[in-house]
Amino acid sequence: MMPRVLLLEDDAVLNETVTEYLEEQGYAVDALYDGFSAQEKLYETQYDILLLDVGVPGPNGWQLLEESRKEGLQTPAIFITSRDSMEDLEKGFASGADDYIRKPFALKELLLRIETLIKRSYAQHSERIVIDEEKRIFFNPFSGELSIGEKSVSLGNKESKLLKLFLRERGKVIDHETIYRSIWEYDETPSDAALRTYIKNLRKLIGKEKIVSLKKQGYKLVSPSK
């Protein structure tokens, strides 16, 4: 699964340059130009890294990250900015940034910083999430690997996204529209038949009783057995 990047940069040339470079390096990039669009994408999508310019229309990078951190977002973030005062640097880290890169910068340097933060994040979040402790069913949301006893299964992209969503909202009913936004890309067409197939595949692996269907409401993942 390609690491997913949110890039917030209102300089069109720089935005396009960084996007093309990262895509060549194997990253999936959502390139945005204003804070409001970034807010919406953060609500809809899980990212591996955030690249945030400070001076953008709408909520600026500082405001966007500070608010996201208050809501529990832990995704690593790098500020991209031409500001270089110590006050700006302190403000950036105070708002929740993990790193800070000043314009102009070498694309290779940006890539190295991204790779370092993603590896660190994966290491910090390498613990498996319990789905059923008695049956020894665990899931690593970063590798997409499902452990069932002594067996390991690498989930498909959609099943992995779906299970991550269920685990994040465990015990809550998730409506179909939220699921569509979370596991289908903007240029893909959601399908209720396909969703039923992904649900069926997960139920075969973790147990039919784990994912409850509520008619006209959606689905929910029940709490793990202890």
pLDDT (tens digit per residue) in 138-177: 888 767 788 898 888 888 888 988 998 898 888 889 999 8
Residue 226's pLDDT is what? Answer: 44
Measure CA of the first residue to CA of the last residue in the chain; give whole Å. Answer: 31
- Per residue in 62-76, pLDDT (tens digit) is 889 988 888 778 889
Q: What is the pLDDT of residue 39?
A: 92
Q: Which residues of the chain have pLDDT under 50?
A: 225-226
Inter-CA distances, 51 with 9, 18, 48, Å: 8, 10, 10
pLDDT recorded at residue 85: 59
Ramachandran angles phi, psi of 29, nearest 5°: -120, 130
The pLDDT value recorded for residue 149 is 86
Residue 45 has what pLDDT? 84
pTM of structure: 0.57
Q: In terms of Cα–Cα distance, which of 66, 76, 94, 102 is closest to 6?
A: 76
Length of the chain: 226
